[in-house]
Amino acid sequence: MSPHLRDAAGAATLAAAGLAAFWLFPEDLGLLTRIAATALYVLSLDLVLGYCGVATLGQAALFGTGAYAAGIAAVHLVAEPMVLLLIGGVAGGLIALATGALILRAHGLALLMLTIAVTQMAHEVANKARWITGGSDGLSGIAPDPVLGLFRFDLYGRTSYLFALAVLVVGLLVAQRIVRSPFGLACRGVREDPLRVAALGGSPRRYLIGMYTISGVFAGVAGALTAVSTGIVGLDSLGFSWSAEALVMLVLGGAGRLYGAIIGTVAFMAIHHILAATDPFHWMLFIGLFLMGVVLFAPGGIAAAAERALERAAGWLRRAGARA
């Protein structure tokens, strides 16, 4: 099957699964909406981690900037949802470009620390600027206009969810396109061997900054989407934990495949929802053990395990067919 066909099939499967969830779980639309928006957020991390090899704990800064930009715009300026997404994306992208140009010279621990520092600083700025961000109380009162002027955001969350799902599917298609483009190919090269890319005449730094900016746009849109579909922006959207959770979800699902980001988000948030009623420390224990397990026994996450299982199944079928 050609890669383009596989991409389209993947997006179609996502849309179908999303619609199925809509009919199967009408009581849980709030959760499903958050899952969809978060999946886009984790997808943004996959672009920079899975396809460029940059280990970052700073994705929340990009998400949160988009969320706050959209939220503040919604409260004071304009409430059209598509415009708000655009504002979020631009905000996330600009922050990514500005910080990426500075910090992507570093590697390893230094880079990790720089991403953490940027996130913490953004958190502090949002915290202190109470007059516009609501500080630790968060930003509320976001009342978006009907989508495309037609679909009102109803109290049951139906519009919110379908809107979020649509944005996610489109986001996946765009990401797939980017990853298969010449730019995407060059970024994969940078992930494997930046010096080799330089020996081909390319600039690894430019590719890294470029992909980081793109991931910032995606993260910003995800933040704006969260703001629009839930009506609030909390200070923890700029928190270090939110960055770490994205990393956990991505690794759980399997980095470097795009669809792994979505699987990981669904799995993580579903389990969290089930265990959330219990002690938060039980949740920590579970996630901690799981993380250790994934690293030691299943480094590619769910996606890799699924791929291996499929390959083995295909192998059996081939041999069974040959024997027949």
Which residues of the chain form contacts with another protein (CB under 8 A)? 4, 49, 55, 57, 102-103, 105-110, 112-114, 116-118, 120-121, 124-125, 128, 177-178, 180-186, 188-189, 192-193, 195-196, 198-203, 207, 210, 214, 240, 244, 247-248, 251, 281-282, 284-285, 287-292, 294-296, 299
Q: Give the C-alpha separation, 215 to 93, whole Å.
A: 7
Nearer to another protein (CB atom), residue 149 or residue 201: 201
Q: Give the C-alpha separation, 322 to 324, whole Å.
A: 5
Q: How far is the CB of 312 from another protein (least distance, A)?
A: 18
Q: Give the C-alpha separation, 85 to 245, whole Å.
A: 23
Q: How far is the CB of 210 from another protein (least distance, A)?
A: 8
Nearer to another protein (CB atom), residue 36 or residue 90: 90
Q: Give the C-alpha separation, 138 to 297, whole Å.
A: 40
Q: Which ranges of 155-279 does DSSP label H, i.e. alpha helix?
A: 158-179, 182-192, 194-199, 204-230, 240-253, 259-275
Q: How far is the CB of 182 from another protein (least distance, A)?
A: 4
Neighbours of 299 (CB within 10 A): 12
Nearer to another protein (CB atom), residue 23 or residue 297: 297
Q: How far is the CB of 216 from another protein (least distance, A)?
A: 14
Nearer to another protein (CB atom), residue 11 or residue 74: 11
- The 3-state DSSP class for residue 139 equals strand
Q: How far is the CB of 192 from another protein (least distance, A)?
A: 4
Nearer to another protein (CB atom), residue 75 or residue 291: 291
Q: How far is the CB of 109 from another protein (least distance, A)?
A: 5
Neighbours of 174 (CB within 10 A): 15
* Residues 6+ positions from 162 with CB-CB distance below 8 Å: 22, 151
Q: Give the C-alpha separation, 235 to 119, whole Å.
A: 12
Nearer to another protein (CB atom), residue 22 or residue 290: 290
Helix 259-275 vs helix 301-323: crossing angle, to nearest 10 = 110
Q: Give the C-alpha separation, 208 to 56, whole Å.
A: 12
Q: How far is the CB of 282 from another protein (least distance, A)?
A: 7
Q: Give the C-alpha separation, 130 to 138, whole Å.
A: 9
Nearer to another protein (CB atom), residue 152 or residue 308: 308
Amino acid at 297: F
* Residues 6+ positions from 188 with CB-CB distance below 8 Å: 51
Q: How far is the CB of 201 from another protein (least distance, A)?
A: 4
Nearer to another protein (CB atom), residue 18 or residue 264: 264
